Structure 1
């Protein structure tokens, strides 16, 4: 290890209390982008992060206004959270790396089943974990880029690259209008960017680090069924009127079976066939059904073989039903017939699925199923947002630097993986900036990013920052981009 990295790593260790404090303050802000009533909190978190950037010596900090959120929304003239752009360094002789992260988080309430208040960071050094909403997705990794800058400064070592940030507040709600901003700034604020690095995903399992070169896309839909003009009393109207909720359950139940097979005609034919060369990539990846069971806290895997699990997680589409809006969902009993209900579901897309064609197939299927019910209610299915799948070259300069950095910190070569999750903006960065994108995970596969008791192992927090620092150093020394 070079002297510069040795001293930077030492500072990451000694500055850990400062980094814990920064993360604690950020986690306590409930920046839930999907909850319109919490939109002011998302703005509060953007302000906090901007202040942290300023304190750490970043310059040219811009809080870019994206305007009003487009429908469907309940709150008129709802402002989108700002995108935070900033720079650290502007040396033309150095490579320029853009780091992306998001400061919004998934919804979380204590009554969901959390052991502790979700928006209060719990640091359990005895167990080696931190717990709180956003700690691994993506507040912890986002702040870590700022922490790395602090560590370099504290060590007296020259920062190896020019760093540009692009931190958004709507990733958990579709990254609305971010595509347009990136394209607009490709020859503006982002001009001269040599590489993009994103830390918004996870190790495949719990023991071995990975680098990620592919992601599934995501098309999010809602089926709306409406009947009566207002909610009705089931004792008076039950059995007399057509109930939207009953219709919706039948439509949703027609989309996918209990073994995960999508039942919409035409989808299987869009999926790129599995080649022997691709199949061989799965052989040496370290993963087991036991690790999957540990991550889910159950024995509900649909597959027993590692290869089958990973292929259905990465290279085959999936359909998930997420919830119903408009129906009674609180504790207790309420004998109401809801007048209008919204069924939410998504399809994770893979090569070579076309979003427009997929939406047409989904709408055709839902319309046909509803028609077969002979219901007098009204039904329509609409696309809420979509994001394309992404695949990169795992052997370019970025991945080579990240592999070397990972080996330095963790003592093993990382597995090269694809992922089942979606970061739609990855493809936009790649295409609009005409550059490579690296996914450099910090957390583990059992972090529970969108679930209760979201956590990040302290060793991953510290090791992740060291990996980020070494990646930037090694990439700066690479002969190519």
Structure 2
């Protein structure tokens, strides 16, 4: 025990003496154009994981990331995670996962950085002002698909490690990377990899860092929670084939009418979820949470203008943020089988399938939500006394994730933000779902922090996605500072 305490003391003393932030920050500023060119190279690769025709580009993207880490002297592996089965029954190789390690000093802490380099689909015809795969610099903003989600943050972490190396400074902690290529389509194969390497690659990891999210305002943020996602298909089947509404309208009970009817019972006009048991599972907003939300920098008028609506569901910041982050929501996404093309086709669809999701929060379990929704919709459907058939299926059951903001990881984050941006960060939750966070937590048992550098207006998954030069470059300095701050965490405080 004395040896461990002495080692920790010497490590802290050494770190305090050796950290040369000003020199590292100056180096990053000098490399700005090189960093932008690296991002341009990565954005030029159409690593769309949803398009099987682009699988070759995705493999090339993984090799490109691996090669960049190899050139830095890291211990790098491209881990085979198998194949995916396509709807037609054929199989296709999944992109390999890149793992890398820099440093193996048993006295130092070890952090593992997770990121992904696949992207959402994009084409100029979607409404982009620039070629989505040709990084374009306009007024300090770097436009391109994947620039913010998630290629620039991954590169910023790599550049942070590289900066220490370039100045011949010891990394204050050992750094590992896990970079995948299927995040945008569900991280196929990654859960199995984490489980398989729990006692090897992840065995000496102390903390896991995820930077696949964004700020809420112009103030830097630390993210401590995400909602889960239960995604459902509700299928109503009636006649054996589509019918002419002029001939059969008024003589059959139409599947579309049944489907729209039951969908209307999921949520009230005011946003209240009507499925029994859902709202009751949610913990009430505490006084401490209320104060945290009140302190968050958030411009409701700007948010309203950005979304293009003239009225929001709630009229005050705390209520809006709470319902964005820590209360469940129901969203109806579409109806498959319905006529949706231009024109006036007068058809009665024989089978229609609604797609909807419930974003769930801590204390809600996907298995229970599945039962609650299935039982409820069948009970509503039974009251219609329809001869049609209803089938309810839950196709995604991703769990929510929540961290302790009092954990030393978050104190280190606050210190790093203060050093680089000279302000305190917002502590925020994410309304979306990042399933890998919960997987890391459940499988490895490690503490996790989310450290975004993306801007609030980056347009993730949308047209004209961008990463500002400011966020990219200052974010790299932020990651450099964070590696130092993590090295200062005392053993007794973890």
| Match among 79, 83, 91 for residue 105 of structure 2 | 91
Distance 2:460 2:478 in 1: 21
Distance 1:164 1:316 in 2: 34
- 1:442/1:460 contact within 8 Å kept: yes
- Who is 1:392 aligned against? 403
| Match among 80, 88, 101 for residue 94 of structure 2 | 80
User: Residues 381, 25 of structure 1: CA spacing in aligned structure 2 closer, same or farther, 3 A cutoff?
Assistant: farther
- Who is 2:326 aligned against? 315
- Who is 2:204 aligned against? 192
User: Residues 428, 416 of structure 1: CA spacing in aligned structure 2 closer, same or farther, 3 A cutoff?
Assistant: same
1:140 aligned onto 2:152: yes
Distance 1:254 1:19 in 2: 51
Distance 1:293 1:431 in 2: 37
- Who is 2:185 aligned against? 173
- 1:64/1:85 contact within 8 Å kept: no
Higher mean C-alpha displacement, 237-246 vs 438-447: 237-246
Distance 1:152 1:233 in 2: 70
- 2:235/2:354 contact within 8 Å kept: yes
1:443 aligned onto 2:454: yes
Higher mean C-alpha displacement, 280-289 vs 196-205: 280-289
SS in 2 for 1:444: coil
1:122 aligned onto 2:136: yes
- Who is 1:406 aligned against? 417
Give, in angstroms, the shift of residue 305 of structure 1: 0.7
After superposition, residues 269-348 of structure 1 pair within 5 angstroms as 269-331=280-342, 337-348=348-359
Distance 1:119 1:20 in 2: 14
Give, in angstroms, the shift of residue 89 of structure 1: 2.1
Aligned length: 476
SS in 1 for 2:295: coil
User: Residues 299, 141 of structure 1: CA spacing in aligned structure 2 closer, same or farther, 3 A cutoff?
Assistant: farther
Distance 2:50 2:265 in 1: 27
- Who is 1:101 aligned against? 115
Distance 1:238 1:35 in 2: 39
Q: What's the RMSD between the two structures over aligned residues?
A: 2.6
1:9 aligned onto 2:8: no
Q: In structure 1, list runs of 5 or more residues that go unmatched.
A: none
User: Residues 21, 212 of structure 1: CA spacing in aligned structure 2 closer, same or farther, 3 A cutoff?
Assistant: same
Distance 1:251 1:24 in 2: 48
User: Residues 41, 60 of structure 1: CA spacing in aligned structure 2 closer, same or farther, 3 A cutoff?
Assistant: closer
- 1:61/1:87 contact within 8 Å kept: no
Higher mean C-alpha displacement, 327-336 vs 353-362: 327-336
Distance 2:481 2:208 in 1: 15
User: Residues 239, 466 of structure 1: CA spacing in aligned structure 2 closer, same or farther, 3 A cutoff?
Assistant: farther
- Who is 2:11 aligned against? none
| Match among 163, 183, 189 for residue 195 of structure 2 | 183
Higher mean C-alpha displacement, 256-265 vs 74-83: 74-83
Give, in angstroms, the shift of residue 119 of structure 1: 3.1
Give, in angstroms, the shift of residue 318 of structure 1: 0.8
Give, in angstroms, the shift of residue 406 of structure 1: 0.7
- Who is 2:228 aligned against? 217
- 2:228/2:435 contact within 8 Å kept: yes
- Who is 2:163 aligned against? 151
- Who is 1:20 aligned against? 36
- Who is 1:472 aligned against? 483
- 1:292/1:301 contact within 8 Å kept: no
Distance 2:125 2:243 in 1: 28
SS in 2 for 1:249: helix
Distance 2:58 2:336 in 1: 23
Give, in angstroms, the shift of residue 238 of structure 1: 5.7
- 2:454/2:467 contact within 8 Å kept: yes
User: Residues 37, 370 of structure 1: CA spacing in aligned structure 2 closer, same or farther, 3 A cutoff?
Assistant: farther
- Who is 1:68 aligned against? 84
Higher mean C-alpha displacement, 253-262 vs 354-363: 253-262
1:380 aligned onto 2:391: yes
| Match among 245, 261, 272 for residue 261 of structure 1 | 272
User: Residues 106, 291 of structure 1: CA spacing in aligned structure 2 closer, same or farther, 3 A cutoff?
Assistant: same
Give, in angstroms, the shift of residue 374 of structure 1: 4.4
- 1:296/1:446 contact within 8 Å kept: no
Higher mean C-alpha displacement, 20-29 vs 396-405: 20-29
